[in-house]
Amino acid sequence: MSKLTDLPKRILIGRALHSNKLGETLLSKRIALPVFASDPLSSVAYAPGEVLLVLSVAGVSAYNFSPWIALAVVVLMFTVVASYRQNVHAYPSGGGDYEVANVNLGPKAGLTVASALLVDYVLTVAVSISSGIENLGSAVPFVIEHKTFSAVAVIILLTLMNLRGVKESGKLFAIPTYVFVGGVFVMIAWGAVRGLLMGETMKAPTADFTIHAEHQGLAGFALVFLLLRAFSSGCAALTGVEAISNGVPAFRKPKSRNAATTLALMGGLAVTMFCGIIALAMATDVRMAEHPATDLLKNGTPVGEGYTQNPVISQVAEAVFGNGSFLFIVLAAATALVLFLAANTAYNGFPLLGSILAQDRYLPRQLHTRGDRLAFSNGIVLLAAAAAILVYIYGADSTKLIQLYIVGVFVSFTLSQTGMVRHWNRLLAGETDPAKRRHMVRSRAINAFGAFFTGLVLVVVLITKFTHGAWVALLGMVIFYATMTAIRKHYDRVAEEIAAGDEPGDETVRPSRVHAIVLVSKIHKPTLRALAYSKLMRSDTLEALTISVDADETKALREEWQRRGIDVPLKVLDSPYREITRPVIDYVKRLRKESPRDVISVYIPEYVVGHWYEHLLHNQSALRLKGRLLFTPGVMVTSVPWQLDSSEAAKLRARKRAEWNAPGSVRRGPVTESKKEKAATKK
């Protein structure tokens, strides 16, 4: 059965890799760009639309503000990219924002950043997948009719791809990401040629629509608030920028320089595509509405519930390339695919951050363990589960999910850049070289401006999005923070409790006596083996213990015990309510109470079976009893195994599997014989 369960795993994620293959999984800049930057690059597929959706509240005339909003987003993007280039050089270990805040601002700030990033990574998967489903649904009706099911299915598929390893998933994701980027640039260039050089008029499919404004003619504070809300929605283009600073260890050497170059390339591409799509949307008269069924009007009549509002990029592509053209189809397919793959940024960032937090004892240690393919498999699975739950709760609706978005990332941006300012202040205090000081002062100025700007944006985001769903993201951060704090306290408490002191304590003092008990249900080979083994341990006292739940069976056991002449006294405990576990526990506790300095050693005969279903038929009482005894102070529990015939088949299967790929071999390393051992074997 073990072989049957292992085979699908190998088919899905591939053969396990040895630990010494870790260096081969490192990424070049060409592969790192789609792996770590697919989120900010793909966000241009929905960020411009979010800006127009918010502005539509005030009618089409408010669209005239979109270029200025795009300019503000561009300035913010360049600021964040420049700031993070300082981060990757100063902290190349992969801790990213968490490490920067933890080292320079203290553990609480570091944990706040970690909580924000974990929430944002989960939302990245949920938003990207949901948006991709909506883009694909315009061409495939089945997908939009079963949005939640389709979104969860894509999450499962991405999880399997990432479990195969970062490098393999990066190769799979590189092609659609580059096709998408190339398609957008071709669209921008061809749109510019048609509009500026050839003087052609390009019209989006919604160009003739009008918008029923919810608040016509906004002015003063209301208009400012609307523009700030549109700006905060456009800031979705910045999500995922921090993933590169968290993923520096995954780059090939020189790691910091390669990561900084990838950051600059990502920023340049994202800004150009974002501005180009906004410009083409204005030129082709794209119309978007938050409630299209009622607010989009065709010839003065609402389009109705049956109308599907296509994303901005889809409408622009149709206007530039023509509906149904080859380039339109290619870009539409690449857009849908890259939105799915944008979640890959989180699939690389979340497990890496989880591993670092686990190493710092803020998360379970299992998250620090690499899987068969040298990826942090437990972190990948945890991320997928959290995102799937979120998608299910919100019905894979990207409009609802995006309101929760970007709060966490701007919390981490602000605290990280503030931490970098303190980092440079600390270094400047001890640096005397003028050239180095000039470099540090320049870097500090970049990070200080980044901290101020991102902090300002954070305030805007909180004010404009709090009632629209941002409070859910904040609640998630609080839950993560409280959980990680509790985990750290638990690990610290356990470490303090089990620490070996310099002076001998109770745990090192030899007990006065050892009282051994062998549990007996009937006389058979497992029982006789347990009795023989217990005698070898040379305990001070030894007795057999059985629980009487059936008088006839107990009588038969006594008679056979005497007939065989077993020289171990048999103790019988009556159990009128037919319980087995409680009488044993009560008896052991009574012995401990009578002689507190004695140790009770309990031997439990157990069957070793070869099939999964046999576990349901054997050892159930032993497992329950063992579980209770483990919580009883001063009691040692020993399992005495008896291998059934079926276990031999399991052993053969395990031996064959070990020749191919034994479980844990990646972490343990191959078992090899030394030359002396080989020579001894030949003799």
pLDDT tens-digit readout, 409-462: 788 888 988 998 998 998 888 888 888 889 889 888 988 988 888 888 888 888
DSSP 511: P
DSSP 598: -
Calpha distance 596→589 (Å, rounded): 10
**643: which strand partners?**
608
- Reading the block at residue 242, the tokens are 């921090």
What is the side-by-side strand order in the sheet with 210-211?
A: 210-211, 296-298, 301-302
Q: What is the mean pLDDT of the chain?
A: 79
Of 619, 637, 605, 638, which is closest to residue 529 (Cα–Cα)? 605
Instruction: Please compute the mean of the pLDDT values over residues 101-110 and round it to a whole number.
Output: 90
Chain-centre distance of CA 183, in angstroms?
A: 30
| Higher-pLDDT residue of 513, 614 | 513
Phi, psi of 644 (to 5 degrees): -75, 165
| Higher-pLDDT residue of 418, 239 | 418
Calpha distance 42→340 (Å, rounded): 9
Chain-centre distance of CA 555, in angstroms?
A: 59
**Amino acid letter at 278?**
I
**Amino acid letter at 642?**
W
Pick the CATH number of 514-643 from 3.40.50.620, 3.90.1150.10, 3.30.70.600, 1.10.510.10: 3.40.50.620
Query: What sign does the CA torsion over 101, 105, 107, 109 have?
Result: negative
Instruction: Please compute the mean of the pLDDT values over residues 229-246 and round it to a whole number.
Output: 76
pLDDT in tens, 131-160: 778 767 666 677 777 788 888 888 888 888
Integer CA distances (angstroms), 444 to 97, 420, 428, 453, in order: 16, 7, 10, 14
State yes or no: pLDDT of 671 exceeds 70: no
Contact 295, 211 (CB under 8 A): yes
State yes or no: pLDDT of 603 exceeds 90: yes
Which band of pLDDT confidence, cut at 50, 70 and 90, is reported for residue 479? Answer: very high
Which band of pLDDT confidence, cut at 50, 70 and 90, is reported for residue 94? Answer: low
Hey, where are the domains in the chain?
23-91+119-395, 514-643
Helices (H), 537-630: 551-564, 581-594, 620-629
DSSP 500: P
pLDDT in tens, 363-383: 887 787 665 545 667 888 889
Please, what's the largest Cα pairwise distance for the chain? 110
Instruction: Please compute the mean of the pLDDT values over residues 268-289 and round it to a whole number.
Output: 88
- Reading the block at residue 35, the tokens are 């792996």
Which band of pLDDT confidence, cut at 50, 70 and 90, is reported for residue 612? Answer: low
Q: What integer pLDDT is reported at residue 680 of this predicted model? A: 45
Print burial letters for 401-440: b (CB count within 10 Å at least 16), e (below 16). Answer: bbbbbbbbbbbbbbbbbbbbbbbbeeeeeeeeeeeeeeeb
66-90 vs 434-465: helix axis angle to the nearest 10?
A: 130
Q: Whose structure tokens read 């290619």? A: 330
Pick the CATH number of 23-91+119-395 from 1.10.10.2840, 3.40.50.720, 3.30.465.10, 1.20.1740.10: 1.20.1740.10
- What is the percent of the chain where pLDDT is above 70? 81
Calpha distance 218→216 (Å, rounded): 6
Q: What integer pLDDT is reported at residue 172 of this predicted model? A: 66
| Higher-pLDDT residue of 672, 613 | 613
Q: What integer pLDDT is reported at residue 546 of this predicted model? A: 92
State yes or no: pLDDT of 542 exceeds 90: yes
Please give the angle made by the CA atoms of 245, 251 and 257, to the nearest 5 degrees.
70
**Amino acid letter at 168?**
E
pLDDT in tens, 111-137: 998 898 888 888 888 888 887 787 676
How buried is residue 598: exposed, middle or buried, by Cβ count under 10 Å (0-12/13-18/19+)?
middle
Integer CA distances (angstroms), 448 to 341, 376, 451, in order: 33, 34, 5
